[in-house]
Amino acid sequence: MAVESEHWVFYFDPNRCIGCHACSVSCKQFHGRGSDTDDWRTVTHHQKGTYPDVEDVPLSMSCMHCHDAPCEKVCPTNAIEKRESDGIVTINRDDCIGCKYCGWACPFGAPVYGDDGLMSKCNMCLGRGPGGGADVEDTPKHELEDQVEPNCVSDCVGEAIKAGPQKEIIEEASQAAAERFRSGAVANGRVIVEPLQDSTSAVDGSVGGTKEVTTPYNAGD
Amino acid sequence: MSNQAQSSSGLTRRTLLKAGSAAAGAVALGGCLSSDDGTDSGGADVSKAFSNCWMCSHNCGQEVTVVDGSVVNITGVDGHPRGSAGPGTEGTLCPKGLAQQDKTHDPKRVKEPHIRKDGELQKVSWDEAFEYTADRLVSFADEYGAETFLDATSWAETSIFRTIWRDLYGSPERISRGIHVCAGPTFVTGGMMGVGSNNRVPDYQNSDYIIAWGRNQLNSFAGQFEAKGTLEAIENRGATLVTIDPQHTITAEKSDKWLPIEPRTDGALALAMANVIIEEELYDEDFVENYTYGFDAYREAAADMPPEDAAEITGIPAEDIREVARGFAEAAPRAGISVWTGTAQMGNGWKATQNITALNGLVGNIDRPGGLRLWEYPGTASFGQVCEQDYTNRAEFREPALKKYDEYSDYPVRHIEGIAHNLVPEMVDNGHINGIVVHHDDPLKDGNADEWVEAIEEMALVISIDAYWNGVSRNADIVLPEATSLEKDTLGTGNWSAYPKHKWVTGGKAAVEPQWNTKPDFDILTGIASAMAEKTDNDDWRIFEQWDSHEEFIDDQLSTLDLTLEELSSGEKNYELVEEYDYEKWKDNDNFVFRFDLDQVGSFAQAAEEAGMDTAPEWIPPGTYGDSTSDEYPLEFYDVRSVFFSHGSNQPHERLRDHFAKRNDLNEEDYRGNYLHLNPKDAEPRGIETGDMVQVESESGSGELMAHVTENARPGFVTAEYGFGETSATPDGEGMNTMTLHDKQMDPITGQVDRHIAVDVKPAGGD
Ligand code: SF4
Ligand code: SF4
Ligand code: SF4
Ligand code: SF4
């Protein structure tokens, strides 16, 4: 198994996120998913304070392709696979029985339950559409031929999201973000997040926890 | 993160994408498609094309992936002048731009030409539609006179609209976006003061101090370079961002300082800043002395507005005013003010923008890196230059009705403009306008909506060229369905952009065939022209026959740059930086003068006198020309933009409406209209909660929409996104047409629609 540092991770910089939802829209378009289906990538807006002392911070989240992948562990049919080569977590829909365990286990509400009775989620654009990527050979994404950059990354207006092997992404991150990631302080070490500048708000802290990050409208249930 | 485009591994950003050739891409997409529908589409026909986005008309580059004639993905073009932060940076598309994919294949589009027969709109062939259009135009000219036909054509991918309606048909009446309904005071004062109408777009990336004045440029941008440039300046230069806005926006959120100003008091704040800058001698003495006019009058006006007085008016503490004034002046000339609609769409907008623009002259940030840039267009060939045929210009010596007839002598705007949006219904009543052609626009949501609706019904001939059914197309006599920009050959010739020293062009060939029975605007207009040539026996109408296609016409326009559309859009990008130009152009321009006082501008001096205002900067309180709040209407209403919609033309898109609902945390509701954003302090006493339907009422109208109670809203100040509701292109007309509240309020100088309206709000259905 490839070491964790070779595994793909997402990076998010809330300082550059302008809350425009382009990432979310582009994800759905790329994967040919209807407007009314739940988002694989969600943007939420976290507000606190009273006018004029208001803070309103946007957060863009998707499946984190966790190193410890709780969803994979609970899946009774082994439909969920964490790829050894690049750590991308895929769902094989032939084996999915729609029991929603992964949705409950996932701290981010990333797997979503579809009208077809099956789960689906972000596959880092390893393949297209629900279940995409499950049949792709287990060679690191960056070594596969004809692979595209995750669509949310290439369409992010604020250039707030990045994705790639952890050791590369961490090099591009600020020292503070890298340290927080290594110490597991942010989202249990699942996503590299830049600290929110000029802010000591609870909103920033919430990225480190898992509570507010769970996106209410696309949780597994 | 400026190095993100050049990761040592070469993996990040577009490199992955670029690695795949088109053929290899076909295999990859084929594989992906097979997982969707279970069939092996490995042999799918995959192609790549370029376009430039016209969803908000600002030309961000689009790279389009097409499989078997359908657009399956759309993304930005790296390094694009409007869609990226400049060289070596990502090009992207905002949600509106992305929605062009959905729009192209949207079954809700107008799919066939229609003409009204026996009172009903009925489908006809293009030939019949063109012939009928020509018939009606000829009989209209006979009966009412071509000069009473209003050209209300908006953004277009071709420049020949003007040639058709003005030069050939002969109407001097023209109304469009821009001055009338967008930011008239901003555009026009800029021109009169000597810096042009582009005085609104600073040189973001090179700035050390950016003031977003009544602007939310991180979410409501004119090309994504605005948002990206602002973020780059903060990240790379440590620039200070200051937002002046009654609302808490995402731009306010990212700002070092947010000044939550009392609405419509921007003019006082600008004068107080000038007061500080002059008093503390922080201004650019050399520039003021050598390149400006009217400084004494300006100094006097500024002296009358010490920060303490302005604090009373604006609600901004005097020390904050001093801090921003000093910060701005000290950073100058690398200090830019970004202004647009926020300070313009109010009755006292003229003076607000004059006072704000004056600050630029004071600190001498004119056409200097990081300041206000005097942007330039590339030298593409004009219609006259490429047209090899003579024709008689029929509108040349015709005066627009507003200037010609006594009925309008009470409107100072007639000295400045040929028409004003709000006055059109009155002109219809007077018989001075009897017909209209509307292209890709909905004037019924741009001001005094109820009167406009009646005016459209009254007009003898209404032609709509549009992609959707809306208040105009549904009520038109002729509906000509337009292709989207992905179905057309396009050319954009920009000015302001992420390349402050380059003129540029962008373009692309149609990515897919026009869907259903639609046509690109160039083909629609030349179709009308040919039918007019037949009908009138006048060969002037044959001038377009010298071009076999829009592409040929575009190539002619590009000939001065030694480019063709093919060259422009083949390869890795679809833009070209064509000519370089420098900063400080005024240095070798003897004619340049920055005017603080406009007493030398005759037309303005006359209009100002009639409107009762001075020619120099001064403070004009809200209510002088527009609404004042009262016991009956205690709240101030203003309509706003969101990143999901542009002028109502994206509102039919489910994807955008769903995300708009998510953005307001109201996606669980079935409702997909606009929201009334109001502060808990205004909501609670009225018994209003988020998700309730509420009624907004002004002296002249009312409407219903859903409440969104939020601390982002300023107490006493309620806002809603415009373009929804009655007459809009949303299939169910959900939400409220904000301009049903409007009653002709306007800036007296430019006729710009004043969108600040005194209202009250109550639960819908309640007392
Ligand atoms: S984020 Fe959720 S779905 Fe994704 S790998 Fe982690 S647990 Fe699984
Ligand atoms: S990586 Fe792909 S699937 Fe995942 S959120 Fe981004 S666009 Fe969607
Ligand atoms: S596209 Fe980028 S900037 Fe926009 S909401 Fe998503 S993460 Fe934020
Ligand atoms: S800003 Fe958005 S809608 Fe406007 S042109 Fe650019 S991508 Fe299109």
Span B257-295, pLDDT tens digits: 999 999 999 999 999 999 999 999 999 999 999 999 999
Give mean pLDDT, residues B669-695. Answer: 98
Question: What is the SS3 assignment for B244?
Answer: strand
Give mean pLDDT, residues B293-306. Answer: 98
**How far is the centre of ligand 4, averaged over its atoms, from the C-alpha of B572 (Å)?**
20
Return d(Cα B196, Cα B527) in angstroms, integer. 36
Contact at 8 Å (CB) between B574 and B77?
yes
Q: Which ligand is the nearest neighbour of the Cα of A112? A: 1
Return d(Cα B296, Cα B155) in angstroms, integer. 41
Q: What is the pLDDT of residue B21?
A: 33
List, as ranges, residues 614-673 from B with C-beta within 8 Å of A.
643-644, 654-656, 658-659, 662-663, 665, 667-668
DSSP of B622-690: TTSSS----SSS-EEEEEE--TT-STTTTTT-HHHHHHHHHHTT-TTSS--S-EEEE-HHHHGGGT--T
Return d(Cα B704, Cα B741) in angstroms, integer. 11
Distance separating the N- and C-terminal Cα atoms of chain B: 55
Give mean pLDDT, residues A187-214. Answer: 59
Angle B307-314/B266-279 helices, nearest 10 degrees? 160
> Is residue B589's pLDDT more than 50?
yes
Return d(Cα B435, Cα B170) in angstroms, integer. 13
Q: What is the pLDDT of residue B463?
A: 98
Q: What is the pLDDT of residue B42?
A: 57
Q: What is the pLDDT of residue B693?
A: 98
Q: What is the ipTM of this complex?
A: 0.92
Return the amino acid letter for A200.
T
* Beta carbons of A128 and B32 less than 8 Å apart: yes
Return d(Cα B80, Cα B91) in angstroms, integer. 6
Q: What is the pLDDT of residue A1?
A: 62
pLDDT grade for A197, boundaries at 50, 70 and 90: confident
> Is residue A201's pLDDT more than 80?
no
Give B75's strand partners. Answer: B63
Q: What is the pLDDT of residue B453?
A: 97
> Is residue B766's pLDDT more than 70?
no
List, as ranges, residues 155-174 from A with C-beta within 8 Å of B.
155-159, 162, 164-165, 168, 171-172
pLDDT (tens digit, 9 = 90+) per residue, B483-542?
999 999 999 998 999 999 999 999 999 999 999 999 999 999 999 999 999 999 999 999
pLDDT grade for A188, boundaries at 50, 70 and 90: confident
Contacts of B390 by beta carbon, 8 Å cutoff, 6+ apart: none
pLDDT (tens digit, 9 = 90+) per residue, B322-350?
999 999 999 999 999 999 999 999 999 99
Give mean pLDDT, residues B7-25. Answer: 34
> What does the block give as tokens for B613?
């205002």
Give mean pLDDT, residues B31-43. Answer: 42
Contact at 8 Å (CB) between B329 and B285?
no
> Is residue B148's pLDDT more than 60?
yes
Q: What is the pLDDT of residue A81?
A: 97
**Residue B369's Cα: distance from chain center in Å?**
25
Q: What is the pLDDT of residue B22?
A: 35
Contact at 8 Å (CB) between B530 and B498?
no
Return d(Cα B437, Cα B473) in angstroms, integer. 10
Contact at 8 Å (CB) between B49 and B25?
no
Return d(Cα B199, Cα B186) in angstroms, integer. 8
Q: Is A127 on the interface with B (CB under 8 A)?
A: yes
**How far is the centre of ligand 1, averaged over its atoms, from the C-alpha of A107 (Å)?**
7
Chain A residues with CB under 8 Å of B662 CB are: 21, 39, 42-43, 217
Contacts of B765 by beta carbon, 8 Å cutoff, 6+ apart: B693, B695
Which region among A20-24, B492-496, B564-568, B681-685 has the lowest average model confidence (pLDDT)?
Answer: B492-496
Q: Work out the angle at residue B643's Cα, subtended by the Cα atoms of residues B639 and B644, and round it to the nearest 5 degrees.
A: 95
The CA–CA distances, whole Å, from B689 to A216, B3, B468, B706, B763 equal 20, 46, 34, 9, 9
Q: Is B23 on the interface with A (CB under 8 A)?
A: no
Smallest CA–CA distance from A159 into chain B, residue: B90
Q: What is the pLDDT of residue A198?
A: 67
**Residue B429's Cα: distance from chain center in Å?**
29
Contacts of B186 by beta carbon, 8 Å cutoff, 6+ apart: B197, B199, B200, B339, B340, B341, B343, B344, B349, B353
Closest residue (by CA) to atom 4 of ligand 1?
A63
Give mean pLDDT, residues B711-718. Answer: 98
Return d(Cα A150, Cα A123) in angstroms, integer. 9
Return d(Cα B504, Cα B79) in angstroms, integer. 12
Return d(Cα B404, Cα B418) in angstroms, integer. 10
Comparing CB atoms, the residue among A57, A142, A164 nearest residue B253 is: A57
Q: What is the pLDDT of residue A204?
A: 37
Return d(Cα A49, Cα B276) in angstroms, integer. 32
Give mean pLDDT, residues B629-635. Answer: 98
> Is residue B27's pLDDT more than 80?
no
pLDDT grade for A146, boundaries at 50, 70 and 90: confident
Q: What is the pLDDT of residue B533?
A: 98
Scored b (16 or more CB within 10 A) or e, B590-606 reads eebbbbbbbeebeebbe
> Is residue B176's pLDDT more than 90?
no
Return d(Cα A172, Cα A188) in angstroms, integer. 20
Q: What is the pLDDT of residue B397?
A: 87
With tokens 């309020």, the residue in question is B745
The whole-chain average pLDDT of chain A stands at 89
Q: Is B61 on the interface with A (CB under 8 A)?
A: no
- The answer, yes or no, to whether any atom of ligand 3 lies below 6 A from the CB of A17, is yes
Q: Which ligand is the nearest neighbour of the Cα of A153? A: 2
Give mean pLDDT, residues B690-714. Answer: 98
Contacts of B733 by beta carbon, 8 Å cutoff, 6+ apart: B725, B726, B727
Q: What is the pLDDT of residue B767?
A: 52
**How far is the centre of ligand 4, averaged over its atoms, from the C-alpha of A50 (Å)?**
33
**Residue B541's Cα: distance from chain center in Å?**
31
CA dihedral in degrees (B342, B344, B349, B353; nearest 10)?
Answer: 90
**How far is the centre of ligand 4, averaged over its atoms, from the C-alpha of B156 (Å)?**
15
The whole-chain average pLDDT of chain B stands at 93
Mutating which of A17, A21, A35, A137 best tests the B interface, going by the most B Cβ atoms within 10 A? A21
Question: What is the SS3 assignment for B213?
Answer: strand
Return d(Cα B175, Cα B420) in angstroms, integer. 7
| Rounded CA Rg of chain A | 17
- The answer, yes or no, to whether any atom of ligand 1 lies below 6 A from the CB of A121, is yes
Residue B144, CB half-sphere, CA atoms under 13 Å: how many? Answer: 24
Give mean pLDDT, residues B180-209. Answer: 94
Give mean pLDDT, residues A191-201. Answer: 75
pLDDT (tens digit, 9 = 90+) per residue, A93-106?
999 999 999 999 99
